Chain A
Amino acid sequence: MSITARIATSSAILAGLLHCLVGSQPLHADEDLGGLSAEEFSFDVEEFEKSPWSLDGYVQGDSRYADPNHGSDFHRLASLGKDLEDGRFQGGLGLQVRLTYQQGPFEAHALSMMTQDYSGDDWAGDALLYEGNLSLQVNPNMYFTLGKTLLRWGKGYAWTPTNFVARDKSPSDPDLALEGYWLGLAEFVKSFPGPLKTLAFTGVILPVSDGVNDDFGQEGHIDVAGKLYLLLYDTDIDIMALSDGSRTASYGLTASRNLTSNLEIHGELALTTDFERKVVDVDGTVAVEEDDAWSYLIGLRYLAPTDTTLIIEYFHNGKGYSGKEAGSFFDLVDREDDASLAASRPSITGYQRPNFMRNYLFLKASQKEPFGWLYVAPSLFIIVNLDDGSYSLTPEVTYTKFDNLELRFRLSYLDGSDGSEYGEKTSNWMAEVRARYFF
């Protein structure tokens, strides 16, 4: 059976399964609402007595298929020195475990992810400690944390340009847990009556050396970062800064507030001073440019009367490449032979980051249980590169009928002209089925 036929068969089975699961449960619009008896329900609150130990997490299995975009520039770069198959089934198993011990003001916390991934013919295992830290709550106003910790600064959903002390999240899966950094943190918080309701200050020390946070930036520095948070006139305001060290100094400002009972607005502004970019020229030479990079984001979250949630964000990536600079990069990949490209690789890593250009739009619409399909939550999101008009369109369906089990089916379609970001990606489209069981 060909790959296409296999996909078609799988899709038909999945569609049939979904129909059986949801199609057989029509909405009983005329059902009598009266007669509910509270005696039907019980609540044994003693089941939820607190224990100092807490263990939770999930186990998941997923299967993915990517249809290769033969001849595209990113496919060519990914193929250098490898023999990529025509179409690739990938998948794997994952186990995320969160363990917490709390006694009085002390808390020990660990979050780890173990994976066993299948790619082509190979299985590869990995285990990573995402977080592992000790905390001390000195009093209601002050606490300290020491160890591997994930900090997430910023208000954006798909992008957070002010997230100075964390790894970048993926706009297509922004809720995924990420690996933190080894750091020391102190936080002071104080509440007030009046328009300023809360003031909090977070101070962070992050060492970078061989084997410790060495992917954060240049080794041999102890970086210092700080964030001042204010809840002022019902608006969240963050002012943050990262000292000059492993990375160049950065400054940020974020704000968010609810405008009405169903509309929220948020924004971010970030300045990275003396940001270094390796830029490919039209003749293929690579120049290092250093300049201040201003990035900003503005977004809305709106709940429509139809129970549809809309998230829209515009992102200007000051660290990204212009259309002309991206064009020179794609010309280089088209023009050079494999050996030259392999040699140029260290100079062009900046072009291979997700959303490496300047201006993007993110739009997500999600609907709870449409057409009376119980436990079904479809959503659709699109990421548009506004510089070249290319885009990635992802419809997704999650199904949550069974307690603690989440099933997700996702299809991503990427499109754009030659020499555009999504037009030159490694795949034309991707399909993914994921089952996640929480414990």
Chain B
Amino acid sequence: MMKLLASIALAILAFGMTPPACALDGEKILLQVDRNLNPESYEMYRKLINIEPDGSKKEFVLYTLKKGQDRMVALFLSPASEKGRSTLRLGNNMWLYLPNVGKPIRITSLQSIVGGVFNNSDILRLDYSTEYTVGSAQEIKGQYLLKLKARTRTVAYDSIEMTVDKKTVMPTEIKCFTATGILIKTLHYSKTKDFGGGIVRPSVLETDSPLQKGYRSVMLFAKIKARDLSDEAFTLSFLPKVDELR
């Protein structure tokens, strides 16, 4: 009898010490989210719409290129007042080039080159796994909830909570927080679309912020396709010439 009890106790202890077979690998899910949202290197067109509290709208069209983990560049095609502006991101470094000024100036991730709710970090978003580590991962009602923590202090949001659809492994909602836990904004992905080339992902990203009540911003995605690019396309030297790559 004592042997039986001891065996049961050992079995319970051993079970308790071993991770359950169904434990979630948050880092793996996050990497999958990144790859499902876009290829590692690609080009795309985006329309950004800022909706003001009075309902009026400001629209911007950008041509964007991304390569690898940490290189991204965007060129403004419209409106005329912004045409020719380009912005580059290399890791946590960001610059803005204004044709009239004629030189790139360093900008920070929390600034916004277009106003509205999207900041520079949203517009030049790298892979989530490049900027964040997974603090915890849970499965709740057919969705994953990933709690992510910024890798460095220059990342725009100290932490984010990402809700991921389990079936498609696509994010549906992302809450962005400051270091003190204040909610800065919420991003909502929607309207999944087939962009061709095996890219099936949300075509709309909406955002609102309790810090900017009444303001909303929307990003529409188009013509996302994989593209091979040289590393030098993502340098300050190339910033005035991004249009040559279209």
Chain A contact residues, CB within 8 Å of chain B:
25-31, 33, 36, 38, 41, 43, 45, 48, 50, 54, 56, 58, 98, 102, 107, 137, 140-141, 143, 150-155, 157, 174-178, 187, 189-191, 197-198, 200, 229, 231, 234, 236, 256-264, 266, 301, 303, 309, 368-369, 372, 374-375, 400-401, 403-404, 406, 438-439
* Pair B108/A50 contact, Cβ less than 8 Å: no
Chain B contact residues, CB within 8 Å of chain A:
45, 47, 49, 51-54, 56, 58, 61, 63, 77-81, 83-84, 90-94, 98-103, 105-111, 115, 121, 153-156, 190-191, 204, 206, 208, 213-214, 216, 218, 220, 222-223, 230-238, 241, 243-244, 246
Residues in A neighbouring B154, C-beta threshold 8 A: 234, 258-261
Alpha-carbon distance A280/B223, docked complex (angstroms): 66
Out of A151, A200, A375, which one reaches B235, CB within 8 Å?
Answer: A200
Residues in A neighbouring B222, C-beta threshold 8 A: 43, 45
A-B contact pairs, 9 of them (CB 8 A): A29-B214, A38-B190, A141-B232, A229-B237, A231-B236, A234-B91, A262-B109, A303-B111, A438-B83
Q: Which residue of A lies closest to B206 (CB)?
A: A36
* Pair A198/B220 contact, Cβ less than 8 Å: no
Out of A27, A263, A369, which one reaches B108, CB within 8 Å?
Answer: A263
Out of A26, A48, A264, A400, which one reaches B78, CB within 8 Å?
Answer: A48
* Pair A56/B106 contact, Cβ less than 8 Å: no
Interface centre among B53, B91, B94, B115 (most CB of A within 10 A): B53
* Pair B232/A374 contact, Cβ less than 8 Å: no
Q: Which residue of B lies closest to A39 (CB)?
A: B191
Q: How many A-B residue pairs have CB under 8 A?
A: 181
* Pair A41/B237 contact, Cβ less than 8 Å: no
Residues in A neighbouring B107, C-beta threshold 8 A: 264
Alpha-carbon distance A400/B45, docked complex (angstroms): 25
Q: Which residue of A lies closest to B47 (CB)?
A: A43
Alpha-carbon distance A369/B215, docked complex (angstroms): 11
- Are A43 and B108 also in contact (CB < 8 A) when A48-B63, A187-B237, A374-B56 are? no
- Are A301 and B236 also in contact (CB < 8 A) when A33-B216, A50-B243, A152-B102 are? no
Residues in A neighbouring B94, C-beta threshold 8 A: 258
* Pair B100/A258 contact, Cβ less than 8 Å: no
* Pair A54/B243 contact, Cβ less than 8 Å: yes
Alpha-carbon distance A27/B234, docked complex (angstroms): 40
Give chain A nearest CB distance to B78 CB in angstroms. Answer: 7
Alpha-carbon distance A154/B104, docked complex (angstroms): 10
